[in-house]
Structure 1
Amino acid sequence: MAQIFSYFALLALGLPFVSALAFTGAVGFGSIATGGTTPFVVTSLADSGTGTFRDAVSVSGRNITFAVSGYVVLASPVSLSSSLTINGQTAPSPGIGLMGREISASGKTNIIIRNLRMRQGNLDTDTGKSAFNMGTASNVILDHCSVEYGVFDSVDAVGAVNITVSNSIIALPIGQQFGAHLETGPATWYRNLWVSAHNRQPLTKANTQYINNVVYNYQAAYTVADTGGLFSHDLIGNYFIAGPSTTSASDDYFQMNANQKVFASGNFLDSNKNGVLDGAAANTVGSAVVSTAPWNSGSTGLATLTAAQAFTSVLASAGAAPRDSVDAFVVASVQSLGTSGAIITNQASTGLANNGYGTL
């Protein structure tokens, strides 16, 4: 019965048949990720050595759980292996986080990451690195993750294939101050909270589902950068909300040229920064060609919330659980609805403990 359910669920999303979803409730193109099956328990918060996170991800095929909670302070980037499942939700309260360096899935495949905090920040002196890098990777899903203080990008997915980022917080990038950069695809961005980035929320040069996201305090939000590539975009039930750093609220859709085909429905823009959620419909997308139906047959089925409902749901549940001081700070700025928030260059400027990283 489970296989039959998965078959029809994947058909509805236009995805190839696999025997099971990445996990119950997984959606979109990354939901075909198979992850790992060999149990491995992280027992140490040290940067390296037996029982550490670095040790756990060094071998393909592992299904990783956590017997410890707190931050792992990384002295160098961590490279993931293929076929991994990282179950951050298994960590004791207050959960697990990685800080100070890039986590890379570059060139790897079949990776499932859930409930993990990835916070790069200025502890990383390499300005060419991102908080999470999945360039040229395939079959990757991030769900209920918190990605903050990215230096080059928060999420780098250039050349990535079959990607889902869902129910996650992508916020407060420093350095380039960019959210995410995706090329190749296809990709699904679902019920994410994007906060206080200059641009790339995301930059997507790919066939894309962008459904029930909330974007706050942007300078440019959904972007294709006037690419010469021919791509299709399903933009449904998203809420764009201007904040103190927003210089042009009309840049909710940025550099969307006539090479793009866009199905836009149920999107809202709150541009007045008055502390009240009172946006208006925003479904005119630059000079893109208007599509009368989604390019992907599963997009309508994913869009179960209105933009207003997405605002409530995403603010309540996005990011790693339990919600820590960094995510609480991010969410509070969004709740101000235009009166609070800033695009930053240093995580310490948040005023949070532990040089801005917060304390787990």
Structure 2
Amino acid sequence: MAYLQTLVSFLALGLPLVSALAFPGAVGFGSVATGGTTPFVVTSIADSGTGTLRDAVSVSGRNITFAVSGYIVLASPLSLSSSTTINGQTAPAPGIGVMAREVSASGKTNIIIRNLRMRQGNMDTDTGKSAFNMGTASNVILDHCSIEYGVFDGIDAVGTVNVTVSNSIIALPIGQQFGAHLETGPATWYRNLWVSAHNRQPLTKANSQYINNVVYNYQAAYTVANTGGLFSHDILNNYFIAGPSTTSAGDDYFQMNANQKVFASGNFLDSNKDGVLNGAAANTVGSAVVLTAPWNSGSTGLATLTAAAAYTSVLANAGASPRDSVDAFVVSTVQSLGKTGTIFTNQASTGLANNGYGTL
């Protein structure tokens, strides 16, 4: 029965048939990622050397677990190998994270990352880097990750094929102040919390599923861009919530031109910044062609929560676990429902410890 359910789900999404999901509960186009199988235990939070995360990802095919917790302060970008699984949920409390440089899966394939905090911030002097880069990669899934303080973007995914970002926090980008930039696809954005970005929440120039996300304190939220090309979008049961930095609540859908085909249903917009979740239906998608049914037959099956239920679930569950001070700050900002929120240029401006990175 389990095999038949997996078979049906992959056929519904139009995905190639594989023997198993990336992990139990994986959804969307990135769920085809196979990751690694060779066990490797990270035993040191040093930047480099034997037993470190950099050592772990230097060889393809590894399935990585953690015997240590805390921040890994990167002195240079952390480049992953193909066929890698990072199981951040195995780290002892309070969990595992990297800070100060980019994590890159550029050009790689079959990457699974779960429960990892990736916080670039202005300790990275290279303003052309992002918190997580998967440009020209394929078969990538990020789940229950916390991605904050991206400089160029929180997530950069130009030319990337088969992507899922699920149950994650993408928040507080500095520099360009952009959430995520994805091109090529297809892509699935599922039950994520997007907070305090100028734009790109996400910018998705791809056939996309955008389901049960919560976006707060945006200046532009779901974006395609006028030069995006011809794509289809299933936008289901998301909640857009204006905050102090929101200058036009109507930019919940941004640059949705006539080249785009959109099925939008069950979405809500709370625009009044009154501290109460009391939005109204928001399914008008600019000049895009309106579809009468999802472009992807699997989208409706993923949209199991209403927008209001997604708000509750995402705020309770998104991001790496256990939740640390940075994610707690992000969530409390959203819970103000219009009263607080800032688009930062420096992580230290949050007032959190450790120059704004918080401590693990």
TM-score (structure 2 length as normaliser)? 0.99
Residue-by-residue CA offset, 1:224-270 (whole Å, 9 max, x unaligned) = 11125100000000000000000000000001100000000000000
Matched, 1:280 2:303: no
How far 1:7 moved relative to its partner? 1.2
Q: Distance in 2 between matches of 1:236 and 1:176?
A: 28
Partner of residue 175, structure 1: 175
Q: Distance in 2 between matches of 1:4 and 1:86?
A: 28
How far 1:32 moved relative to its partner? 0.3
Q: Distance in 2 between matches of 1:226 and 1:79?
A: 32
SS of corresponding position for 1:338: coil
Q: Distance in 1 between matches of 2:123 and 2:92?
A: 26
How far 1:11 moved relative to its partner? 1.5
The code of the aligned residue for 1:262 comes to V
Contact 1:96 1:116 in 2 (8 A): yes
Give the 3 Å change call, closer, same or farther, for CA 319–228 of structure 1 in structure 2.
closer
Q: Distance in 1 between matches of 2:97 and 2:108?
A: 21
The code of the aligned residue for 1:123 comes to M
Partner of residue 27, structure 2: 27
Contact 2:88 2:113 in 1 (8 A): yes
Could you tell me which runs of 5 or more consecutive residues in structure 2 were left unpaired when the two chains were aligned. Answer: none
Could you tell me which runs of 5 or more consecutive residues in structure 1 were left unpaired when the two chains were aligned. Answer: none
Partner of residue 184, structure 1: 184
Partner of residue 139, structure 2: 139
Q: How well do the aligned residues superpose, as a CA RMSD in angstroms?
A: 0.6
Partner of residue 150, structure 2: 150
Q: Distance in 2 between matches of 1:235 and 1:120?
A: 29
Contact 2:201 2:223 in 1 (8 A): yes
Q: Distance in 2 between matches of 1:140 and 1:221?
A: 23
SS of corresponding position for 2:122: helix
Q: Distance in 1 between matches of 2:2 and 2:308?
A: 33
Aligned residue pairs total 360
The code of the aligned residue for 2:259 comes to N
Give the 3 Å change call, closer, same or farther, for CA 228–78 of structure 1 in structure 2.
closer
Q: How does 1:94-109 map to 2 (within 5 A)?
A: 94-109=94-109
How far 1:324 moved relative to its partner? 0.1
Contact 1:110 1:138 in 2 (8 A): yes
SS of corresponding position for 1:226: coil
Residue-by-residue CA offset, 1:143-181 (whole Å, 9 max, x unaligned) = 000000000000000000000000000000000000000
Partner of residue 13, structure 2: 13
Residue-by-residue CA offset, 1:101-138 (whole Å, 9 max, x unaligned) = 00000000000000000000000000000000000000
The code of the aligned residue for 1:4 comes to L
Q: Distance in 2 between matches of 1:302 and 1:140?
A: 18
Q: Distance in 1 between matches of 2:58 and 2:2?
A: 31
